[in-house]
Structure 1
Amino acid sequence: MATPTELGQSRYMQVTATIRAIMQRIQQIWRGSSAASIEDDLFGEAGAAIADAVVEGQLSVADAAQAYIAAQMAAQGGAALAEATLVASAFAGIAPDGGPLETLLFLPAIGVRRRLAAGMSPEEAMIGGLADMARYASTSISDTARSADQVAMAAHPNCVAYMRVVRLPACARCIILAGQIYPHSEGFLRHPNCDCQTLPLRENEWPGVATPEQLIEGMSERERRRVFTVAGARALEAGADPGQVVNARRGMDVAHIYGRRLQVTHEGATRRAVYGRSRDRAGDRMDRFAGQRFGEATSMRYSRSRNVPRLLPEEIFRVAEGRDHELRLLRRYGYIV
């Protein structure tokens, strides 16, 4: 049987391999576009093909989450059987901030136009736009994998916590969090292009995971200066605490809804989606609204739940009072069945 560390490495490789495969497809699609027509291209067939590719990647990593967590629990001596089944489709089509994925994937067109206005050549502007697209696409897939892993953790009664695993190259904000253990329901701090991983735990102990000090020791002097700045690298060499050197981000922006700061999404809340269907059966009012495709309204053919916004998984973990409450909310919002 594979060890927990080996299982974590396999999950990491599965997610990164998925991202690489999707990025190869996106690059091929991008080559057929030009700076002069980029808005029309991303609003049309090219944009739809890119969005479909990213959704496919999201479905792939989400679908593998429950098997991964089950294998980890079995490797640690716990029961592999979960209390609920994860719904992979509930994680697809949603951007990391909870907005529509297609709107996020249209932003590179705006970036191309801004680069042209700044005097870049069309070739340079398109290279920059592709870099933007790669960042948005890869972050969306990575974030989906982490979110699905945490939901699968909640469905396993033996899983009590997770540890953050950081692999070089990494930024300073991630390095100082390496090896930290969090309750299974605590939100995962991340940034664009973050590929850090959650490793589920039965106990508050995980040997063999690199600490911030070990990661820093394994970096070259040039890499330490790039990540921590010259002054920060000098402070670390003098024995400074990495956590004091780096101003790590604590938390993310959220919306004010119902008098509370909640992270929500309207994605997946239509009558055709898992969550939307459940709310429709429950008798919620459904409002007609114009669909959004790459930031522009399409028609009024969609109906969406009016009374109950859809909470993101990390927000469910933040507000839930115990595991039973987590499972009820995850079921209510369509992430598990």
Structure 2
Amino acid sequence: MPTPSELGSDRYQLVTSTVRTVVAEVQRIWAGLSATTIAEDLEGAAGAAILSATTSGQMTVVDAAQAYIAAQMAAQGGSAVTEAALVTAAFAGIAPDGGPLETLLYLPAIGVRSRIAAGLAPGEAMLGGLADMARYASTAISDAARSADQVAMAAHRSCVAYMRVVNLPACSRCIVLAGQTYSYSEGFQRHPNCDCQTLPLRERDWPDVPSPERLFTAMSEAEQNRQFGMAAADAIRAGADIGQVVNARRGMGVAHLGGRSLAVTSEGTTRRGLYGARERRAGGEFASAPGQRYSRVTTPRLMPEEIFRIADGRADQLRLLRRYGYLA
């Protein structure tokens, strides 16, 4: 039987290889686009192809989440039996902030136009737009994987916690959190392009996960200087506490929609959407906002992170995860 570390490595490889495949497809599509027609391109077939590739990537990593959590629990001597089935489609087409993925993937067109307006040549503006698109697509896939892992953890009663595992190369903000253990229901702190993992735990001890100090030592001096800054890296090399040198939370936060206190998503809330269809069968109310083509259910759909934040215990978590369409 594979060890927990080997299972975690396999999961990481699946997510990162999926991200690389999707980014390569995005680059292929982008190579045929023009700065003069970028807005129309992303509203048309090219944008639909990029959205399809990214959504497919989300589905790939989400579809493997429940089997991964079950295997981890079995490898740690726990039960692999799940209390509910993960609904793969509930995680697809959603941006990290809870909004529609297609809206996020249109933003590079605005970025290209802004760069040209600021005086950049069209070719340079398109390179910047491609970097934006690759970042948005990869972050959406990685976030979907982490969200699905956490929901699957809730469905396995033997899972009590998860540990943050950092893989090099990584930024200073992530390195100082390496090896930290959290309750299985605690939100995952991340930033754009973050590829850190959530490794589920049956017990609150995982000695094989590298600490911040081990990760720092494994980096070259040049990489230490680049990720932490020369002064901070010098201080750490001189013996300063790495957690005191780096403000671990700067620039990081649980996904939320705008400034609202509840993390919600509008994805799947139309009458034909996954959540909307459930609400329609239950007699839910729908309304159309000005300028919107479709009516949406008036009851907000909570994101998994918000459910874990507000739920009162595992039973309430499972009830809400079913209620909002993430578990069957």
Q: Please tell me the TM-score bracket, short chain as reference.
A: over 0.9
What residue in structure 2 maps to residue 167 of structure 1? 167
Does the 8 Å contact 1:287/1:304 carry over to 2? yes
TM-score normalised according to structure 1 size: 0.94
- Closer/same/farther in 2, CA of residues 256 and 218 from structure 1, 3 Å limit: closer
Correspondence 1:303 to 2:295: yes
Structure 1 runs not aligned, ≥5 long? 291-296
**Equivalents in 1 of 2:214, 2:149: separation in Å?**
26
Matched, 1:333 2:324: yes
Find the counterpart in structure 2 of residue 51 from structure 1.
51
Runs of 4+ with deviation above 6 angstroms: none
CA distance in 2, matches of 1:75, 1:319: 30
Distance in 2, matches of 1:135 and 1:209, equals 27
Aligned to 1:126: 126
Q: 1:1-337 to 2 correspondence within 5 Å?
A: 1-249=1-249, 251-252=253-254, 254=256, 261-289=261-289, 300=293, 302-306=294-298, 308-337=299-328
Deviation at 1:256, TM superposition (A): 8.6
Per the alignment, in what secondary structure is the counterpart of residue 198 of structure 1?
Answer: strand
User: If the length of structure 2 is used for normalisation, what is the TM-score?
Assistant: 0.96
Name the SS of the counterpart of 2:288 in structure 1.
Answer: strand
Contact kept, 8 Å, 2:256 with 2:263, in 1: the verdict is yes
Conservation of the 8 A alpha-carbon contact between 1:262 and 1:315: yes
CA deviation map 1:228-277 (0-9, x unaligned): 111111111121111111112263464599xx821111111112122111
Please tell me the residue identity of whatever aligns with 2:219.
M
Preserved contact between residue 72 and residue 200 of structure 2 (Cα < 8 Å): yes
Contact 1:165–1:179 (8 Å) recurs in 2: yes
RMSD over aligned Cα atoms: 1.5
- Seen in structure 2, the aligned counterparts of structure 1 residues 255 and 61 have a Cα distance that, compared at 3 Å, is closer
Contact 1:73–1:202, Cα closer than 8 Å, also in 2: yes
Instruction: Give me the whole-angstrom Cα distance separating, in 1, the residues matched to 2:253 and 2:104.
Output: 21
Distance 1:92 1:261, change over 3 A: same
Q: Measure how far apart 1:324 and its partner are.
A: 0.2
- Counterpart CA distance in 2 for 1:111 and 1:191 is 20
Q: Deviations over 1:180-239 (max 9, x none)?
A: 000000000000000000000000011211000000011111111111111111111121
- What secondary structure is seen at the aligned counterpart in 2 of 1:33? coil
* Structure 1 residues 253 and 16: alpha-carbon distance in aligned structure 2, compared to 1, 3 A threshold: closer
- 2:258, 2:148 → 1: CA distance? 25
Between 18-27 and 144-153, report the one with greater CA deviation.
18-27
Shift of 1:115: 1.6
For 1:43 and 1:131, the matched residues in 2 are separated by 19
Post-superposition offset of 1:310: 0.5
TM superposition shift of 1:119: 2.1
Checking the alignment, whether the CA contact within 8 Å between 2:96 and 2:255 is kept in structure 1 is no
Rounded to whole Å, the distance in 2 between the matches of 1:132 and 1:52 is 17
Which amino acid in 2 is paired with 1:71? A
Is contact 2:171–2:227 with CA below 8 Å preserved after alignment?
yes
Report % sequence identity: 65
Q: Give the 3-state SS of the residue equivalent to 1:261 in structure 2.
A: coil
- Uncovered stretches (5+) of structure 2, i.e. residues with no partner: none
Q: Is the 8 A contact 2:255 2:305 kept in 1?
A: no
**Paired positions, count:** 326
